[in-house]
Amino acid sequence: MIAGCPRCANRLDESADGWRCEHHGYVPPLWSPDAASYDGFGDHLRRAEDFPTYLPWPLAGGWRVTDFGVVRGNARARATMVSVAGSTEPDGPVEVLVVSEEPGTGLGARCAGTVHSDPGAEIIASRPTARVRLDSQPVPLWPVSTAEHDLSLDRSVVAGEAGGRWLWLVLRPASAVFLLTGDWPLADVSGMGAHLLDVPFGGPPPGW
Ligand SMILES: [Zn+2]
């Protein structure tokens, strides 16, 4: 597993005082694999303990888990992320990244390419435009604007709240957000065990 900064692409240096990013100072590391694999995902779930890891579930045919990670220092986990890739009829190749995080962690914003660590202020005034079904409960999601930020990245960002934490979804290309007009299913796979044996892992990791 690689120890990276949850807020940027830097790797972290370990010292007696903790893990340090040269831009963001001391942060809890984002632990992610060199390449996604079933064994690595087992390590990820053990490190995350009871923190949820949300995966599109059941994973549609031809879709793969391309990356995952957990933010955890010496204390309990603060965030998890999973990236899946597949294809849909209107969009062709599609990538969906799911982040669950405690407020102030910054991983969702880094994956989304937005400036604010938490989506709260941005989504409070608007209406939800997307929805997922999480362990059979509908979860409304609000659009997070990316227009002021990196225009070169073709993506949609939506965010909401699940289990008292921020839930972010980043979809590429941007038009793939129409996947989320119905009841797109997500599940917490942290206790799923043997069912995950059937999940394909690997392929190119996301470009964030
Ligand atoms: Zn950093």
Q: Residue 130's pLDDT band (boundaries 50, 70, 90)?
A: very high
Average pLDDT, stretch 24-46?
95
Domain contains 67: yes
Q: Which residues pair with 2 in a beta bridge?
A: 32
Between 63 and 179, whose confidence is greater?
A: 63
For residue 106, the CA-to-ligand 1 centroid distance in Å is 10
For residue 1, the CA-to-ligand 1 centroid distance in Å is 17
For residue 4, the CA-to-ligand 1 centroid distance in Å is 8
Task: Note down the domain range covering 76.
Answer: 2-198
For residue 195, the CA-to-ligand 1 centroid distance in Å is 35
* Per-residue pLDDT at 127 exceeds 80: yes
Cα 100 from Cα 105, distance rounded (Å): 10
Domain contains 181: yes
For residue 131, the CA-to-ligand 1 centroid distance in Å is 31
Domain contains 70: yes
The region of weakest confidence among 112-116, 139-143, 146-150, 156-160 is: 146-150
Looking at residue 24, its pLDDT comes to 95
* Per-residue pLDDT at 126 exceeds 90: no
Average pLDDT, stretch 57-66?
93
The region of weakest confidence among 29-43, 45-59, 123-137, 146-160 is: 146-160
141-154 pLDDT, tens digit per residue, is: 998 877 666 656 78
Domain contains 77: yes
For residue 12, the CA-to-ligand 1 centroid distance in Å is 8
Domain contains 46: yes
Q: Residue 196's pLDDT band (boundaries 50, 70, 90)?
A: confident
Looking at residue 160, its pLDDT comes to 94
| Ion ligand 1 neighbours, Cβ < 5 Å | 5, 7-8, 10, 21, 23-24
Between 148 and 113, whose confidence is greater?
A: 113
Q: Which residue has the tokens 């923190």?
A: 51
Looking at residue 151, its pLDDT comes to 59
Domain contains 39: yes
Contacts of 108 (CB under 8 A, 6+ apart): 79, 99, 101, 117, 118, 119, 159, 166, 168
Residue 167 has φ and ψ, to the nearest 5°, of -115, 120
Q: Which residues pair with 65 in a beta bridge?
A: 84, 201
Looking at residue 97, its pLDDT comes to 97
For residue 86, the CA-to-ligand 1 centroid distance in Å is 29
Domain contains 110: yes
Average pLDDT, stretch 56-71?
94
* Per-residue pLDDT at 165 exceeds 90: yes
For residue 112, the CA-to-ligand 1 centroid distance in Å is 15
The region of weakest confidence among 9-18, 64-73, 197-206 is: 197-206
SS3 of 25-79: the string is EECCCEEECCCCCHHHHHHHHHHHCCCCCEEECCCCCCCEEEEEEEECCCCCCCE
Domain count, the chain: 1
For residue 25, the CA-to-ligand 1 centroid distance in Å is 7
Domain contains 123: yes
Amino acid at 20: R
Q: Residue 27's pLDDT band (boundaries 50, 70, 90)?
A: very high
